[in-house]
Amino acid sequence: MDASRRIDSPTVQTHKRQFAWQILVPFLVATALILAVAVLVATGTADTNRPWADVSIIWMIAPMLVVALVMVTALSFLIYGFAKLLKVTPKYTAKAQFYVAQAAAGIHKAADGATKPVVWVQQAGAIFKSIFKL
């Protein structure tokens, strides 16, 4: 296929148009808004605008404080839960270890029983070969 046809195809043109309006423009608008807020906060350090700068900083910090409060609460519940779990764990891990050891012994016995006929046939074949080879 010709390179010029690929560049000028309708799908490529549609993709370029969608990229501009659905990705590039929203990204640039969001960046401009963030820069505008940063400039407002930075220029708000003058004595006349000091209260508004303080209010802006409070509004910028408040969401982070809420997220931090949620994280600290979740962490404290996890610590409390693990402390309770560590008191109960040894009794149940001993039982689990006992049952796993029983299962391992049963599996080992079943595997030995499954391979026993195959080993017996190979041994019998080796015996017959040694007898009739002489």
- CA atoms of 28 and 15, how far apart (whole Å): 18
Average pLDDT, the chain: 85
20-24, 102-106, 116-120 — which one is most confidently predicted on average? 102-106
Position with higher pLDDT, 90 vs 6: 90
First-to-last alpha carbon distance for the chain, in angstroms, is 76
At 113, the pLDDT band (50, 70, 90 cuts) reads very high
Q: What does the pLDDT look like over 35-63, one tens digit per residue?
A: 888 787 777 655 666 777 778 888 888 89
Q: Is the dihedral of CA 108, 114, 117, 122 positive or negative?
A: negative
Closest CA to 58 of 74, 44, 72: 44
Lowest model confidence (mean pLDDT) among 3-7, 8-12, 64-68, 106-110: 3-7
| Mean predicted confidence (pLDDT) in 124-129 | 89
Residue found by looking up tokens 């997220």 in the block: 67
pLDDT given at position 44: 60
CA distances for 89 relative to 49, 81, 84, 98, 113, angstroms: 59, 12, 9, 14, 36
**Contact yes or no for 17/23 (Cβ under 8 A):** no
- CA atoms of 52 and 37, how far apart (whole Å): 12
Closest CA to 59 of 51, 47, 71, 69: 51
- CA atoms of 122 and 20, how far apart (whole Å): 74
